[in-house]
Amino acid sequence: MACSTAPSGDPFVVSVAERAGCVIITLRGELDIASAPALREELGVVLKPEACRLIIDLSAIRYADASGIAVLVGGLRRAGLLGGWLRLAAPTPAITEVLAVTGLNRHFTTFPTVETAIVGPRLVALSVFLVRVVCDDGS
């Protein structure tokens, strides 16, 4: 677990876990110029060919500036180069707005929860399809 302190005095905390073949990085605090190096370092440690399916839980991030978002973009690029992916889970409204304003929402795949990010878009789409087939079938 990495930790740094923001100018506001609140700690930025990075914790890492593995679940269902994915590396889950949970962030808490502010993702800004003070905390970006801690996240960059953690991504450098965890992203490798055998661990390139990454989910970043943003549910406890209150604020992100350009330097913090740049680290996420770097992680997305590196995961792709390793043959994997990076998914964002539970972004707060503030983070969703930053991604939309910058146009990065078109590059990141976001999910409402870590659990749905683990399942991924294909299985979620398959579930919706199966529900529709069952309902259309009259069952």
User: Which three-class secondary structure state does DSSP give residue 9?
Assistant: coil
- Residue 2 pLDDT more than 90? no
pLDDT score, position 67: 97
pLDDT tens-digit profile of 16-62? Answer: 999 999 999 999 999 999 999 999 999 999 999 989 999 999 999 99
Tell me if 64 sits within 8 A of 96, measured CB to CB: no
Average pLDDT over residues 112-137: 67
SS3 content of the chain, % helix, strand, coil (to 5): 45, 30, 20
pLDDT tens-digit profile of 90-116? Answer: 999 999 999 999 999 999 999 999 999
Average pLDDT over residues 66-95: 96
Tell me if 28 sits within 8 A of 59, measured CB to CB: no
Strand partners, 60: 28
Question: Nearest CA to 27 among 51, 62, 53, 73?
Answer: 62
- Residue 71 pLDDT more than 90? yes
Cα–Cα distance measured from residue 139 to residue 130, given in angstroms and rounded to the nearest whole number: 12
Rounded to 5 degrees, what are φ and ψ at 8?
-70, -10
pLDDT score, position 126: 46
pLDDT score, position 128: 47
Domains and CATH numbers, the chain: 2-136 (3.30.750.24)
For residue 113, give the DSSP letter.
Answer: S
Alpha-carbon dihedral sign for residues 90, 93, 95, 96:
positive
Cα–Cα distance measured from residue 102 to residue 87, given in angstroms and rounded to the nearest whole number: 17
pLDDT score, position 98: 94
**Of all helices (H) and strands (E), which one includes residue 54?**
strand 53-64
Q: Structure pTM?
A: 0.81
pLDDT score, position 120: 86
For residue 30, give the DSSP letter.
Answer: E
pLDDT score, position 10: 77
pLDDT score, position 20: 94
